[in-house]
Amino acid sequence: MSRDKAFYLTTPIYYVNDAPHIGHAYTTTAGDVLTRWHRQRGERVWFLTGVDEHGQKVMRTAEANGVAPQEWADRLVESAWLPVLETIDAANDDFIRTTSTRHTERVQGFLQRLKDAGEIYEGTYDGPYCVACEEFKLPGDLVDGEGEHAGQKVCPIHGRPVEQVSETNWFFRLSAYAEPLLRHYEDNPTAVAPLSAYNEVVSFLRGGLQDLSISRSTFDWGIPVPWDPSQVVYVWFDALLNYATAVGLGDEEGTPGAEQFASTWPADVHLVGKDILRFHAVIWPAMLMAAGLPLPGQVFAHGWLLVGGEKMSKTKLTGISPDQIVDHVGSDAFRYYFLRAIQFGSDGSFSWEDMSARYTAELANGLGNLASRAAAMVGKYRDGALPEATAYSDAELTLQSLLAETAATADECVLRLDFAGGIAAVKAFIDAVNLYVTEQEPWALAKDEANAQRLSTVLYTICESLRAIAVLYHPLMPKATASLWEQLGADVALGPIGEQPVQTAGEWGRLPAGARVTKGAILFPRLEDPVE
Ligand code: MSP
C-alpha cells in the first residue's frame, strides 16, 4: 500500500429508475460529512458516489416511459442525480456512471481475468429473482404476500411477487469463499459495522455459500460478457466493481489509472444501507479475493428512513424528495437533522414536527442566537474589534476544559461514524456557552466602566468558543459555519475554514484579539409555516 494512500470512501451507486428520495440523500450526506471531517484532519481524501444504470429494473422503467434505457439514464442523471448533490451540498471528488467506458472496459477486463483464473464456469440457474432488489433469492428468503398479493410468495423487502428465472448462465465460484471470508471477519472484527451487521454477516457465512450466477441472457441492457456477447453481466457484479473501476482497476503499470489505484485502493469505508449489506460484505470481498486484491477496510451498514414503520421507498410511493426539505430549512439543517436525530446504524422516522422543533431549538435559538448576540455585543461594546482576554476566572477555565473534551469526543465519535454522538457533544458545549452568557450578563458588565476588563474577557470567551464550534461543525454544516467564520473575522485572521484542523479545534486562544467581528446574515432564519 502506498504511503500517501487517500482516505477512500464510497456511497452505493443509486439506481436511475427514479429520482432520489431522502433515503438516498441520507447515505450521501453521511459520506460527505465523514469525508469533510477527514479532510479537516489534513488527510488526502477521495469521495466517490455515482449511479447504477444497468439491469432489468432500469430497463423496464425506461420501456414503460417509451424511451431507450440509455436515454432514460442520461435524463435522470442530468435532471435528478447530479442536481441532488448540489441540493445537499455534497463535495464528492468523483461521480461514476456504470455506462461509462472507463467502467465497462475495466469490468470486462476483470471478468476475463477471473475466467482465466478458473473462477467462472457455465451452469444453469433455476429459481426466484426479485427485480426490485435485482437479486436471486432462495425460496426460504420469501414471505407470504398480503393484500393484492395474498396467496403468493413475495420479496420481504418490496412486498412484491418474485419472477421465476430459468437460464444458462456464467457462474462465479462464490461457495469457495465462505471459509476465507469467515477467517477474514474473525481477524478483522470491525470490517463490518455496526456489530449487529457484523453478526448478521458472520452467521450468514456460517450457513455456507452457493455459487452465484453472474450473467443474464434474456435481455441485453448490461455489459456484454467478453467471451460470450450473448450474455450481459449480472447488474450487481457490474455495480460492485464501480468502487474499483472508478479508481483505475486493472490498468497497466505506469499509467495514471494504475497510479490512482495504488494510492486509493482499498476503500477505507463502503457506506451502505442495511438492505444491501450482503452484497457488500459477502459477494464483493469474495470477488476481490478471487482477483487477489486487497479488501476494503470497513463496510458500514446504516439503517432505513421509515415511513409508517416501513422503509421509505419509491416502489411504495412513500419517497420524500430532498428538495422538499432543503427548500424549507436549507441544506445545512437537512444535514444536521438526519445525522443528529437518527443514530447512524439504526432505523429512524422522519417527521416535519420533529425537524422543525430541533431546527428552532437547536439551530435558530441554540447556535444562531448565540452567534448573533456575540456579534452584536462586540459591535456595540468594542466597535467590532475582538477584545483581549486578560484574567480568566473559573467560569472561563471550566468552559475551556469542556471545549478540549468536546473536540476530542467529537473526533473520536465521527471517526467511528457515531455522528449523533459527535453532534451531541458539540451541542452540549453550545448549551454551556449559552449558559455562560446568561450567567455572566455582559450587558450588565457594560454598564460600568470599572468592569471593562472583565467584559473583554467575557466577549473574547464567547467569540473564541464560536470559533471552535464553527470548525467542529463545518463538515456538518458547511454554509452556516462559513458565514459564522466570516462574522468572527476568522477568515482574515486564520485563513479559510475548510483548512482548519479539527484536531486542534479544542485548543484555546486561536482567534487573535483584534479580529474584525461583524454582524452578518442570520445563520438560521425563523421557519415559515411548515410545507405540510
Ligand atoms: N444500485 C444498488 C446499489 C449498488 S452499490 C454497488 C441499490 N440502489 S438503490 O438506489 O436502490 O439504493 C441505494 C442506497 O439507498 C442503498 O444503500 C439503500 O439502502 C439506500 N436507501 C434506499 N431507501 C432507503 C431508505 N428508506 N432509508 C435509508 N436508506 C435507503 O441498491
The whole-angstrom separation of Cα 198 and Cα 277 is: 10
The whole-angstrom separation of Cα 461 and Cα 466 is: 9
Domain that holds residue 455: 352-504
- 509 lies in some domain: no
280 is catalytic: no
Residue in 84, 98, 276 to alter for ligand 1 test, most ligand atoms within 8 A of Cβ: 276
Q: Which of 133, 137, 274, 302 is catalytic?
A: 133
Cβ contact 512:464 at 8 Å: no
For ligand 1, atom 23, name the residue with the nearest CA: 23
Residue 234 Cβ inside 6 Å of ligand 1? The answer reads no
The whole-angstrom separation of Cα 340 and Cα 33 is: 12
57 is catalytic: no
Residue 267 Cβ inside 6 Å of ligand 1? The answer reads no
Residue 516 has pLDDT above 60, yes or no: yes
Which grid coordinates are listed for 160? 412484491
Q: Is 151 left (phi over 0), alpha (psi -120 to 50) or beta?
A: left
Of 126, 202, 206, 128, residue with least CA distance to 171: 126
Name the least confident of 108-112, 138-142, 462-466.
Answer: 138-142
Residue 276 Cβ inside 6 Å of ligand 1? The answer reads yes
pLDDT for the residue numbered 1: 43
133 is catalytic: yes
- 104 lies in some domain: no
The whole-angstrom separation of Cα 192 and Cα 270 is: 10
184 is catalytic: no
Residue 272 Cβ inside 6 Å of ligand 1? The answer reads yes
Ligand 1: centre distance to CA 504 (Å): 36
Q: Which atom of ligand 1 is nearest to the CA of 319?
A: 26
pLDDT band at 315 (very low <50, low <70, confident <90, very high): low
Ligand 1: centre distance to CA 24 (Å): 6
21 is catalytic: yes
- 459 lies in some domain: yes
Residue 319 Cβ inside 6 Å of ligand 1? The answer reads no
Q: Average pLDDT of the chain? A: 96
Residue 266 Cβ inside 6 Å of ligand 1? The answer reads no
50 bridge partner residues: 13, 96
Residue 27 Cβ inside 6 Å of ligand 1? The answer reads yes
130 is catalytic: yes
For ligand 1, atom 16, name the residue with the nearest CA: 273
What is the domain count for the chain? 1
- 425 lies in some domain: yes
Residue 14 Cβ inside 6 Å of ligand 1? The answer reads yes
Ligand 1: centre distance to CA 14 (Å): 6
- 519 lies in some domain: no
Q: Which atom of ligand 1 is nearest to the CA of 274?
A: 19
pLDDT for the residue numbered 319: 84
We report the CATH number of the domain holding residue 412 as 1.10.730.10
Residue 311 Cβ inside 6 Å of ligand 1? The answer reads yes
Which grid coordinates are listed for 463? 467569540
Residue in 10, 13, 14 to alter for ligand 1 test, most ligand atoms within 8 A of Cβ: 14
Residue-wise pLDDT tens digits, 125-158: 999 999 999 999 988 899 999 999 999 999 998 8
pLDDT band at 532 (very low <50, low <70, confident <90, very high): very low
For residue 511, report the phi and psi dihedrals to the nearest 5 degrees: -75, 120
Neighbours of 324 (CB within 10 A): 13
Ligand 1: centre distance to CA 404 (Å): 37
Residue-wise pLDDT tens digits, 221-265: 999 999 999 999 999 999 999 999 999 999 999 999 999 999 999
Of 225, 224, 209, residue with least CA distance to 283: 209
pLDDT for the residue numbered 294: 98
- 12 lies in some domain: no
pLDDT for the residue numbered 312: 85
Residue 17 has pLDDT above 90, yes or no: yes
- 411 lies in some domain: yes
Q: Which atom of ligand 1 is nearest to the CA of 52?
A: 1
- 197 lies in some domain: no
The whole-angstrom separation of Cα 492 and Cα 485 is: 9
